[in-house]
Amino acid sequence: MAKATNAETQQRIQQVYRQLLAGSSRAQIIMQFAAKWEVKNRQIDTYIRRATDMMVVDSEFHRKAEFGKALARLNLQYRTCLKDKDQKTLLAVQKEINALLSLYLPPPVQTLQLLGIDQGAINILNAELESRGLSLAGVIQSMLKEIGADGIG
């Protein structure tokens, strides 16, 4: 088969994207599309990688939008409860707003402030490490061992 056009490639990546969202495994995606598109497994892996890259971009963009939408919905619910004098639900909504805004978390560690490191950046790094089955503390300990400073502290 001839090389896919850019439009065909984008369409294929979108199809793989949808299959990944639906929970399909690499093997299932290969079985579904390799023969249909007359491509080798390596090409399917490229489509999977590009679809996964799209998911990362989408999650970064949509996180802020979803956060704003969630907060706006809670604020609307709060106003409704206030108007209806529904104190029980009003308190529950306020607790949810507080949790969403991380108002219950302790303040950032002083060391981070001294180093000029943003707590949000640490949270993002920690989430990325956890998605790879790693812990931030474990990574830091490994780094200290690599530089010969594992006995510090």
Residue 135 · residue 129 · CB < 8 Å: yes
CA distance 109 to 105: 11
CA distance 37 to 77: 49
Nearest to 127 by CA among 59, 66, 51: 59
Nearest to 17 by CA among 33, 35, 39, 41: 33
Q: Residue 110 pLDDT more than 80?
A: no
**What is the average pLDDT across 119-124?**
84
112: buried, middle or exposed (CB in 10 Å: 19+, 13-18, 0-12)? middle
**Whole-Å CA distances, 36 to 5, 13, 15, 32:** 16, 14, 12, 7
Give me the pLDDT at residue 150, please.
61
Q: Residue 153 pLDDT more than 60?
A: no
Give me the pLDDT at residue 7, please.
96
CA distance 43 to 8: 13
Give me the pLDDT at residue 68, please.
93
Give me the pLDDT at residue 45, please.
97
More confident residue, 23 or 150: 23
**What is the average pLDDT across 121-144?**
88
Give me the pLDDT at residue 108, please.
55
Q: Which residue shows structure tokens 């080798």?
A: 40
Task: Determine what percent of the chain is predicted with pLDDT higher than 70.
Answer: 92
Give me the pLDDT at residue 107, please.
64
44-98 pLDDT, tens digit per residue, is: 999 999 999 999 988 776 778 889 999 999 999 999 999 999 999 999 999 999 9
CA distance 8 to 66: 31
